[in-house]
Amino acid sequence: MMPADLLTYAKPIPVSSSSTPAAGRARSSGGPPRTLAALTPGERGVVSGFSDRDRPNPISSRMMEMGLTVGATVEVAHEAPFGGALAVRCRGTLLAVRIADARVVELERASAGRAP
Amino acid sequence: MSTAALPRVALVGSPNSGKTTLFNALTGARQKTGNYAGVTVEKKEGLLALGPGLSVGLLDLPGAYSLDARTPDEAVTADLLRGARADEPRPRAIIAVADATNLERNLYLVLQLQELGLPMVLALTMADLARKQGIEVERDELSRRLGMPVVLTSARRKEGLADLLEQVGGLLESSASAPHEAGRGAIDNSPQKIIHRYKTIEHALRAALRKNEKAKDVTRAIDKVVLHRVWGPLILVVSFALMFQMIFSLAEYPMDALQHAVDALEALGRTLLPAGDLTSLIIDGVLAGVGAVVVFIPQILLLFAFIILFEDSGYMARAAFVLDRLMTKVGLNGRAFIPLLSAFACAVPGIMATRTIENRRDRLVTILVAPLMTCSARIPIYAMLIAAFIPATRVLGVFTYQGLTMVGMYLFGVVSALIVAAVLKRTALRGEVSTFIMEMPTYKVPSLKNLAMGLWDRARIFLRKAGTIILAVSVVLWALATYPKATPPAGMTEPKAVAAYQLAHSFAGQAGHAMEPFIEPLGYNWKIGVALLSSFAAREVVLSTLGTVYAIGYSDGDSAGLGDTLRKSPDFSLATALSLLVFYALACQCMSTLAITRRETNSWRWPAVMFTYMTALAYGAAFVTFHLARLL
């Protein structure tokens, strides 16, 4: 867990409709890779990698075991009502994943889009 | 029932795979629960009759997502299957369990199990539900692709169970010789291997699974509401509020009945047995002490019934998901919600329920704050003090000051627990934010059989506690309050006055006098001191002690009489009552909680920490309450 992540994570839930939690997350086209945390409910993407492999005891190994493997399609089904976590559909199951953890999951750049 | 000498078969599956339902269907009532040595993981074992005269032991291993263990539960499953636990022999065969409606995810563990090299059969559960959802499994094709026998079962309809037993018999016959040495090492969990397992699953399912995509997905429909930004939290609040309302209103009648039964037994004992110390020990010690606790069984069972129903229906995982953000604010995580909710009935099952929390620090914090939640043992003293000292005046039409104070006491417990958790996470139990990844199961209609067996289990655990710790402590406290014998002054003949005199001069009474200087700042006299001491082990006995020490008796279960006496007593002001309410909300007066904490944390350190901080907190808060209340 990077200190910067911690700070973002501890931010209060935005209340105004113009700044939903998703808007606060990275949405740039260039720069760092798009992550699972950037998807809004209804959007899907394809897992391309994990950014925590060099950390000790990476969360990504458990995520992979839960089905979020490279190449798997993921869809954000819901955002937790108070924020902080996403309900992610993957391989026919719904998984609860914290947004802080979802930042570790990188998505293929061209893959994101709305679910049919 | 002992299955030690029998060959053992292990039942293994992911959480929510329908494993427990299958276990109950296979073994019926022929099961027992215990603990694995050295760890606090629950061990469930049953007798599986394969045919006439042929039985094997069936071990229901804790649910695991993976054999690469992350929780104590998963570690037991992984170690036992590898034959790495000294106290448990390696099972001879495995029944792998996978939910037919969630095969892709569930088969992951099954493939890991296959790598262990033990003879195994795959039992697909909820086959009837799968068909209803338009999922068609070609059993022979799946069996061929995965390289293991497959049986479609439905525990609810008793479908496939005979077939499963036959397969297990076959496995044992073919593997009757030497124990398997393969698969004893650690599981390979490189990313390549994980991807390979999922590829195998994808290929197998593409060949063996037909899915009618048009079938309506009930879970999705329910989740649209239950996980909705507005409706989700609202449903959560309403369902848990309803739950508590129902627990209290429904439990009232059986609790009254039990109380009457205990009173009747006491009365019967007094008429049948000769007056003397032995009779007093049986009635005032054993019956009063154990009876005071047993009376709570309806409430505890009702709470567990709701928890089991929420859990089995699939709602509990959603509640944890919705609340995770709020829980992380105070340094806990969404999974702490279930233990803390259980602690409203009793901290003991609450602390036992922390086992599903992966992160050790999160788990410790949850254990340490669980006893601050208002357990049902606090209800009698709250009810008595509130009825006696708080006016029943109506406010806003439907509420009364008394009702609001009761709600306030519950909130006080919750807020204290959250504050202490936040403080602990920022000081002694500092650590990185834990991770949280959890499967949200599909919604299911809970099985009544699971409910009944779960409740029976809880009732047994609770009665065992009442029969051991509480019985022992009741006897010790009875002795402290009975000896040394005092001779009442001449002219004192009224039995209640004699009893009060006796208590005042007993060891407990002397201790109460000795501690008076320490508790006077809280507004308590020596009589309350005696009550504090006697309720040290179990807070619910405070009423009977107060009854005795104020010389009115309490054996008739009449708390209104006690309340009246206290209110009229010059040494018991409103400030004292409020201070006592706060003290009982925060103090750790529960031997069983300390014992279970010792067992769950495997050290005396954490029960010591728990006792110290709670007592200090109770003392400080009661002090402040007393002095503030006197100013008003």
Instruction: Report pLDDT digits (tens) over B23-38.
Output: 999 988 777 777 676 6
Does residue A66 surpass a pLDDT of 80? yes
Judged against a pLDDT cut of 70, whether residue B40 lies above it is answered with no
Interface size A-B, in CB pairs within 8 Å, comes to 120
- Where are chain A's structural domains? 4-112
3-state secondary structure of B127: helix
pLDDT of residue B467: 73
- Whether the pLDDT of residue A24 is over 60: the answer is no
pLDDT at B472: 81
Burial class, B619, CB count within 10 angstroms (exposed 0-12 / middle 13-18 / buried 19+): middle
Provide the pLDDT confidence category of residue A116 given band limits of 50, 70 and 90: low
Measure the CA–CA gap between B143 and B121, rounded to whole angstroms.
Answer: 9
Confidence of residue A6 (pLDDT cuts 50, 70, 90): very low
Q: How far apart are CA B481 and CA B545, in angstroms?
A: 9
Query: Helices B574-586 and B526-534, interaxial angle, to 10°?
Result: 20
**CB-CB under 8 Å, B317 with A78:** no
The predicted pLDDT at position B552 comes to 55
Q: What mean pLDDT comes out for the span B421-446?
A: 82
Kindly report, residue by residue over B389-412, the tens digit of the pLDDT.
988 888 777 778 888 888 899 999
Is B432 an 8 Å CB contact of chain A? yes
What value, to the nearest 5°, has the Cα angle with vertex B64 and ends B325 and A53?
A: 65
Cβ within 8 Å, pair A95-B440: yes
ipTM above 0.85, yes or no: no
Which residues face B140 on adjacent strands? none
Closest chain A residue by Cα to residue B235: A81
Predicted local confidence at residue B111, as pLDDT = 96
Residues 6+ apart with CB under 8 A from B374: B344, B382, B409, B410, B413, B414, B585
Most A CBs within 10 Å: which of B106, B193, B196, B198, as the mutation test of the A interface?
A: B198
**Hey, what are A103's tokens?**
């930042």
Q: Which residue of A has its CA nearest to B219?
A: A94
Candidates A98, A104, A105, partner chain B, best to mutate (most B CBs within 10 A): A98
Q: Average pLDDT, stretch B524-534?
A: 88
A61/B324 Cβ within 8 A: no
**pLDDT at residue A15 greater than cutoff 70:** no
| pLDDT classification of B14: cutoffs 50, 70, 90 | very high
At B312-353, the pLDDT tens digits run: 898 988 988 998 888 888 878 787 887 888 788 778 878 877
Nearest CA in chain A to B195: A69
The rounded distance, in Å, linking the Cα atoms of B405 and B374 is 13
User: For residues B495 and B504, what is the distance between their CA atoms, to the nearest angstrom?
Assistant: 14
Mutate to test the interface with A, among B321, B356, B432, B436 (most CBs of A within 10 A): B321
- Contact map slice: B 102-141 vs A, CB within 8 A: 102-105, 108
Distance from B594 to chain A by nearest Cα, in Å? 32
Q: How far is A61 from chain B (nearest CA, A)?
A: 7
For the CA atoms of B139, B141, B147, B153, the dihedral, rounded to the nearest 10 degrees, stands at -10
Residue B466 pLDDT: 67
Is the Cβ–Cβ distance between B610 and B372 less than 8 Å? no
Average pLDDT estimate for B197-207: 95
Range 268-307 of B in CB contact (< 8 A) with A: none
Mark yes or no for CB contact A6/B326 under 8 Å.
no
d(CA B600, CA B352): 7
Q: Do A62 and B66 touch (CB under 8 A)?
A: yes
Q: What is the mean pLDDT of residues B348-373?
A: 85
Is it the case that residue B204 has pLDDT exceeding 80? Answer: yes
Interface probe, candidates B108, B237, B435, chain A, greatest A C-beta count within 10 A: B435
Report angle CA B442, B447, B452 to the nearest 5 degrees: 140
pLDDT for position B93: 93
| Residue B464 predicted with pLDDT over 70 | yes
pLDDT confidence bin for B39, thresholds 50/70/90: low
Q: What per-residue confidence (pLDDT) applies to A114?
A: 67
> Angle CA(B448)–CA(B450)–CA(B455) in degrees, nearest 5?
95
Q: What is the mean pLDDT of chain A?
A: 76
pLDDT of residue B332: 83
pLDDT value at position B359?
Answer: 76
Of B15-29, B93-107, B215-229, B323-337, the one with minimum mean pLDDT is B323-337
- Confidence grade of residue A40 (pLDDT, cut at 50, 70, 90): very high
Put simply, the answer to whether A61 touches B189 (Cβ < 8 Å) is yes
Mean pLDDT of chain B: 85
What is the average per-residue pLDDT within B251-256? 84
pLDDT score for A1? 37
What per-residue confidence (pLDDT) applies to B78?
A: 94
Residues of B in contact with A78 (CB under 8 A): 223, 227
Q: Minimal Cα–Cα distance from B98 to chain A, Å?
A: 13
The answer to whether B14 and B109 are in contact (CB under 8 A) is: yes
For an interface test with B, give the residue of A53, A70, A82 to mutate (most B CBs within 10 A). Answer: A82
Distances (CA, A) of B163 to B101, B121, B153, B154, B488: 20, 11, 9, 12, 76
Task: For residue A46, name the pLDDT band (cuts at 50, 70, 90).
Answer: very high
Instruction: Give residue A27's pLDDT.
Output: 46
- pLDDT for A21: 46
Please state, in angstroms and rounded to a whole number, the distance separating the CA atoms of residues B269 and B221.
59
Check residues B288 and B205 and name the one with the higher pLDDT: B205
Mean pLDDT lowest for which of B106-120, B171-185, B476-490, B549-563? B549-563
**Mean pLDDT on B494-517:** 86
Amino acid at B242: L
* pLDDT average, residue stretch B82-98: 91
CATH topology of domain A4-112: SH3 type barrels. (2.30.30)
Query: Is residue A14 very low, low, confident or very high in pLDDT (cuts 50, 70, 90)?
Result: very low
Is residue B598 predicted with pLDDT exceeding 60? yes
* Predicted local confidence at residue B432, as pLDDT: 64
Q: Which of B65, B220, B325 sits opposite A80 (nearest CB)?
A: B325
Read off the tokens for B230. Answer: 């507005």
Highest mean pLDDT among B381-395, B541-555, B581-595: B581-595
**Structure confidence at residue A17 (pLDDT):** 39
Q: Of B340, B300, B323, B337, which Cα lies nearest the Cα of B459?
A: B300
What pLDDT is recorded for position B294?
77
pLDDT category of residue B180 using cuts at 50, 70 and 90: low
Residue B60 in this model has a pLDDT that exceeds 90? yes
Residue A102 has pLDDT above 90, yes or no: yes
For residue A64, what is the nearest residue in chain B, using CA coordinates? B194
Residue A41, burial from CB neighbour count under 10 angstroms (0-12, 13-18, 19+): middle
Provide the shortest C-alpha distance from residue A9 to chain B (in Å).
Answer: 10
**B471: confidence class by pLDDT, cuts 50, 70, 90:** confident
d(CA B628, CA B615): 20
- What is the Cα–Cα distance from B474 to B492, expressed in whole angstroms? 28
Residue that wins the pLDDT comparison between B469 and B535: B535
Average pLDDT over residues B559-587: 86
What size, in residues, is chain B? 632
pLDDT cut 70: percent of chain B above it: 93
- Rounded CA separation B594/B608 (Å): 8
pLDDT for res B418? 92
Cβ distance of B66 and A65 shorter than 8 Å: yes
- A100 to chain B: closest CA residue: B435
